[in-house]
C-alpha cells in the first residue's frame, strides 16, 4: 500500500480563516497598489469624427505628461450627447469634465449643477491669455462655472466657381441684406432648375441674433426676449421672399438638409451656405470646388456689423464630481499647452487666445488659414459685446426652425408665426 506524506489538514475553520486572511491580503494589496495608481477621470465631448480623433490624441498627450491622471473618454454627435447628458447628471454619473454648448449651458448653470472653478483659476487654470468673453460668459457673480474652449462667429461660405460663373463675386464687397438677396436669386437662376442661391437660414437662430444685433437689440435681455415681434416678422418675411424666387430652397428641400453632407451647397443645389466659421473645414472636406468665407450681410451704412465673436462651447465639471482639481488641470492643458493647441487645430472652433491664434497660424492648412484670417479681419468690425444665451435657448431654437418651415409651407404668415413665437417663448421662459 502506498502511503502519501500527510500534508497540513484543512478543516472548515481553517478554510474560513484562510479565506478571510486571503481576502484581507488581497484588499490590502489592492489598496496599497491604489495609492500608487493614477486617478481615473472621465472626459466627454460632442462633435464629428475629426473632433473625436483629435481630442483622443490630445488626451493621450495629457496622460503622457500627467501620469497621475488617467482619462477615460466618451463622445457622441451633438444630439446624442445631449440626449445622454441629463440622464447622466440625474443618475450621478456625469463625466468629470465635459464640453458644454451655450445652447444648453445655462440650463445647467441655473440649476447649480456645475462646479465652481474660481478657486482653480490662476493657480491651475491659466486664463491670462484668453480673449475677452471666453471666461466672462460662464461667470456669474463671483463664480466661474464654465470656461470657453473657442471663439467663433457666424459666416457666409461660398462656392467661388459658381459666384464667378454667375458674375456676382463683386456683390460681396458691400454685402447688404438687399444685395445678398439679389445675389442669391441671381445664383439660383444661374444654376438652373432646382438650384438655389443659399441655404434657408430662417431657422438659424445665431444669424437671427446677428440680424437683431444690427438693429441695436439682442436675442435676450434680462432673461426674456430682447427683440420685438416686428423684428421676427421681418426676418420670416425676408426668408419667405428668398424662397419665392429661388434665392433659398423650398422647405421640403431644407427638411432633408440636416448634417454637413446633406447641405444644399454640398449637394450642389446651392452656391452659398451660412454657418459657424470653423465649419468651413468640414464643408471643404466634402467638396472639390474651392470655398470662400465672408462676413454675413449687414444693413446699409451700419456702424456695427452685428457679428459677435465669442465662446460658444465650454469646458465644465459637474458639481458632484470628486475630481474637480484633476479636471481643472485637464482644462488648463487643453487651453494652454502648445502641443494640445496644435493637435486640436480648429476642430473645437476658432482659437480662444492670441497664443493659440499664433500657434495655429504657423501650421494651418488652406481652409484653416481662411478661418483664422476671417476672424482676424472681423475682430475690429465686430460688436464688442459677448452676450450669452439663456436657459430654454435650445427649445427656442427648435421653435424658430419649425415656424420658419411653417411659413415656408404656407401654413402660417410671417406675422402670425412671430406672434406664435412670442406666446410659446412666454411659456418656455416663464
Q: Which residues bind other proteins (CB under 8 A)?
A: 79, 82-83, 86-87, 89-90, 107-108, 111, 113, 251-256, 258, 267, 394-395, 398, 401-402, 405-406, 409, 411, 428
Tell the smallest beta-carbon distance from residue 368 to other proteins (Å).
Answer: 29
Q: Which is nearer to other proteins, 60 or 428 (CB)?
A: 428
Q: In this structure, what C-alpha cell is assigned to residue 231?
A: 423684428
> Closest distance between other proteins and the C-beta of residue 409, in Å?
6
CB of 130 to other proteins, least distance (A): 28
The least distance separating other proteins from the CB of residue 401, rounded to whole angstroms, comes to 8
- Whichever of 23 and 428 has its CB closer to other proteins, that residue is 428
Element (H, E) at 211: helix 205-214
For other proteins, the closer of residues 213 and 321 by Cβ is 321
Query: Which of 75/89 has CB closer to other proteins?
Result: 89
Minimum CB–partner distance for residue 90 and other proteins (Å) = 5
10-21 in b/e form (b: 16+ CB < 10 A) is eeeeeeeeeeee
Which of residues 133 and 318 has its CB atom nearest to other proteins in the complex? 318
Nearest to 376 by CA among 390, 396, 356: 356
Nearer to other proteins, 85 or 134 (CB): 85
- Closest CB to other proteins among residues 87, 322: 87
Give the whole-angstrom CA distance, residue 319 versus residue 115.
4
Rounded-to-integer distance, Cα 406 and Cα 423, Å: 16
Q: Please, what is the minimum distance in Å from the beta carbon of residue 403 to other proteins?
A: 9
Q: Which is nearer to other proteins, 51 or 254 (CB)?
A: 254
Backbone angles phi, psi at 97, to 5 degrees: -145, 135
Residue 79: CB minimum distance to other proteins, A: 6
Residue 405 CB, shortest distance to other proteins, in Å, is 5
d(CA 89, CA 108): 10
By beta-carbon proximity to other proteins, the closer residue of 108 and 235 is 108
Choice between 82 and 177, CB closer to other proteins: 82
| Of residues 83 and 354, the one with the C-beta less far from other proteins | 83
Burial profile 195-211: b = 16 or more Cβ within 10 angstroms, e = fewer:
bbbbbbbbbbbbbbbbb
Contact of 100 with 108, CB cutoff 8 Å: yes
- Of 256 and 290, which CB lies nearer to other proteins in the complex structure? 256
> In this structure, are residues 76 and 52 in contact, taking their beta carbons and an 8 Å threshold?
no
Amino acid at each position: 500500500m502506498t502511503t502519501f506524506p500527510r500534508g497540513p489538514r484543512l478543516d472548515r475553520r481553517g478554510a474560513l480563516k484562510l479565506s478571510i486572511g486571503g481576502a484581507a491580503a488581497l484588499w490590502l494589496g489592492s489598496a496599497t497598489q491604489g495609492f500608487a495608481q493614477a486617478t481615473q477621470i472621465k472626459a466627454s465631448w460632442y462633435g464629428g469624427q475629426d473632433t473625436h480623433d483629435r481630442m483622443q490624441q490630445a488626451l493621450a498627450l495629457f496622460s503622457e505628461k500627467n501620469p497621475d491622471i488617467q482619462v477615460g473618454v466618451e463622445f457622441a454627435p451633438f444630439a446624442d450627447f445631449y440626449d445622454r447628458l441629463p440622464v447622466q447628471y440625474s443618475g450621478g454619473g456625469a463625466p468629470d469634465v465635459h464640453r458644454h454648448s451655450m445652447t444648453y449651458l445655462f440650463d445647467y448653470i441655473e440649476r447649480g449643477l456645475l462646479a465652481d472653478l474660481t478657486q482653480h483659476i490662476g493657480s491651475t487654470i491659466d486664463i491670462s491669455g484668453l480673449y475677452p468673453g471666453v471666461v466672462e460668459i460662464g461667470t456669474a457673480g463671483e463664480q466661474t462655472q464654465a470656461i470657453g474652449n473657442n471663439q467663433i462667429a457666424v459666416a457666409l461660405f461660398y462656392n467661388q466657381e459658381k459666384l464667378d460663373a454667375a458674375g456676382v463675386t463683386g456683390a460681396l464687397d458691400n454685402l447688404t441684406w438687399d444685395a445678398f438677396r439679389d445675389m442669391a436669386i441671381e445664383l439660383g437662376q444661374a444654376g438652373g432648375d432646382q438650384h438655389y442661391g443659399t441655404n434657408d437660414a430662417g431657422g438659424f437662430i445665431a444669424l437671427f441674433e446677428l440680424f437683431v444685433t444690427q438693429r441695436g437689440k439682442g436675442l435676450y435681455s434680462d432673461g426674456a426676449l430682447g427683440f420685438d415681434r416686428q423684428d421676427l416678422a421681418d426676418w420670416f418675411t425676408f426668408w419667405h421672399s428668398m424662397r419665392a424666387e429661388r434665392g433659398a430652397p423650398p422647405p421640403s428641400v431644407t427638411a432633408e438638409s440636416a448634417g454637413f453632407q446633406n447641405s444644399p451647397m454640398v449637394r450642389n443645389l446651392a452656391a452659398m451656405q451660412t454657418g459657424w466659421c470653423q465649419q468651413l473645414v468640414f464643408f471643404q472636406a466634402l467638396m472639390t470646388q474651392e470655398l470662400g468665407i465672408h462676413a454675413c450681410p449687414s444693413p446699409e451704412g451700419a456702424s456695427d456689423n452685428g457679428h459677435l465673436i465669442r465662446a460658444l462651447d465650454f469646458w465644465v465639471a459637474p458639481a458632484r464630481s470628486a475630481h474637480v482639481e484633476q479636471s481643472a488641470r485637464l482644462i488648463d492643458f487643453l487651453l494652454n499647452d502648445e502641443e494640445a493647441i496644435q493637435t486640436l487645430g480648429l476642430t473645437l472652433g476658432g482659437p480662444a487666445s492670441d497664443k493659440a491664434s499664433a500657434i495655429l497660424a504657423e501650421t494651418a492648412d488652406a481652409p484653416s488659414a481662411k478661418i483664422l484670417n476671417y476672424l482676424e479681419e472681423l475682430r475690429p468690425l465686430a460688436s464688442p459685446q459677448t452676450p450669452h444665451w439663456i436657459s430654454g435657448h435650445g427649445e427656442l431654437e427648435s421653435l424658430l426652425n419649425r415656424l420658419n418651415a411653417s411659413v415656408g409651407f404656407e401654413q402660417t404668415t410671417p406675422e402670425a408665426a412671430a406672434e406664435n413665437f412670442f406666446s410659446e417663448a412666454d411659456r418656455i421662459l416663464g
